[in-house]
Amino acid sequence: METPESSYPAAQSWSYRVPSPPRLNVPPTGFLKQSPAGMPVAPSKTHDFGSTGFSNTDFLSAVTYSDYITGREPQEWTYDHRWEAQRILPFLYLGPVNVARSRGFLKDNGITMVLAVRDTKSAHARLLGSKVAVEMGIPYATVDTAGNQELIAAFPRGIEIINAHLSAMYHQSQRISTDTTPASPGRVLVFCESGNGRSAAMVVAYIMAMFSMDVVKAILIVQSQRFAVAFDDDMKLLLQTYDSILSAKRMVLLTDRQDSGAQIDPDPIFPGIYGWRKPFKRALNEAEDEDDDMDCGDDGEISGGPSLEKRNGAAPFLDNADRGR
C-alpha cells in the first residue's frame, strides 16, 4: 500500500487483514457420478512400505482376505439416512451413536467392534456408551479428546485400535475356520454423537494413513457415502495438517530407505506384514566427517555453504530512487 508521503512503495499488494491460512476447497461429490465406477478406494502406487508408522496395504489385504478396496458410487441420500450408518470401506462403518445401540444393526452387519470418538466431558459423564455391544460380547473402545485440536494426536491411537482389532480377528478366524465355517474378517463401527464430526474425521485420517491418500480425496470418499458429513474450515485445516505430517513421514522414511537400505521390521502383532525399519543412527566418525566439511575461518564465517551475497530474496518495499532503473 503506497501513501503520498511514503518514499518506499510496497513491492506487492497487502492489506491490514489478520493473516489466515488458505481455505481447503473440497469439490462436491456429484461429479463422482460422471465415472461409472465412482471414485475407487485403492492404495497408492507408491505405498509399498510402512510409511506412516502403521501397517501397509499388504496388512489390509491379509486381515480382510483381500476385501479392502471399494469402488462404490455415491449413495443416493435422503434426510433419514443421517440417522443410519454407512459402509465407507468393506470393513469400516461410520454413523451416529444411536446405531451403536441398535442390536439389529450390529447383528445384521456383522460388527465385531465399536469405536467411540468422543469429548472427555462425555467420557466423564459416561455418555456415548454402547451397553448393547457389551451385552452382545462385542468389544467397545474409545478415543477421548478435550478438543478438536487434540485429534491430531488421537488419530494414530484410533488407527492402531482399528488395525489391532482386524489383526486379532484374523488370527481368531484362522483358528476356528473350517470347510463348513469360512473365515470372516473383522468389521468396525466408528461413531460419535452425530456421526458427522470427530468420528468422520477419524475415518478420513484412517484412509489417508492406510492408503496414502491426500486429504481432499479422502474427504470425498467419506462424503460420497455419508453426505451429512460437512467439515468446517477448522476441521479441514486440522486434517490438512495431519496430511502434511503423514507426507513428511513418508518422505523421511523413503529417503532413509534409498540412502541407507532399510530392512523389513516384523510387527509383534502381525509378523512379516508391517513395513520398513528406520536405519540406525549415524556413527560418530560419520558425524565428525560432516563437521570437517564445514570449516570456520579466521573471521568467524563458516565456509562450505552458500554465502550471504548469493542468497536470493524479495524485498517487501522498493526505494523510489530504484524504480526508474
pLDDT in tens, 89-136: 999 999 999 999 999 999 999 999 999 999 888 776 677 778 899 999
| pLDDT of 227 higher than 70 | yes
86-89 and 92-96 beta bridge pairing: antiparallel
| pLDDT of 254 higher than 80 | no
* pLDDT tens, position by position, 33-58: 544 344 555 554 444 444 455 556 77
| pLDDT of 178 higher than 80 | no
| pLDDT of 85 higher than 90 | yes
| pLDDT of 235 higher than 60 | yes
pLDDT of residue 252: 79
pLDDT of residue 30: 60
Packed helices 233-260 and 151-176: angle between N→C axes, nearest 10 degrees = 70
Tell me the C-alpha to C-alpha distance, in Å, between residue 238 and each of 95, 121, 203, 225, 267.
Answer: 21, 21, 14, 22, 29
Where is pLDDT greater, at 72 or 100? 100
Q: Of the spans 172-181, 189-198, 244-253, 264-273, which averages the highest pLDDT?
A: 189-198
pLDDT of residue 270: 39
Residue 280's pLDDT band (cuts 50, 70, 90): very low
User: In sequence order, which ranges of 79-119 are alpha helices (DSSP H)?
Assistant: 97-100, 103-108
Q: Where are the beta strands (DSSP E) in the chain?
A: 86-89, 92-96, 113-119, 140-145, 188-192
pLDDT of residue 35: 41
pLDDT of residue 273: 36
Give the mean model confidence (pLDDT) for residues 60-81: 79
| pLDDT of 202 higher than 80 | yes
Collapsed DSSP state (helix, strand, coil) of residue 246: helix
Phi, psi for 302 (deg, rounded to 5): -90, 130
Of the ranges 127-131, 140-144, 192-196, 227-231, which one carries the lowest mean pLDDT score? 127-131
In sequence order, the 6+-apart residues with CB closer than 8 A to the CB of 90 are: 64, 67, 68, 69, 70
pLDDT of residue 245: 92
Q: Determine what percent of the chain is predicted with pLDDT higher than 90.
A: 36
pTM of the complete model: 0.71
Residue 75's pLDDT band (cuts 50, 70, 90): confident
Give the mean model confidence (pLDDT) for residues 183-205: 93
| pLDDT of 305 higher than 90 | no
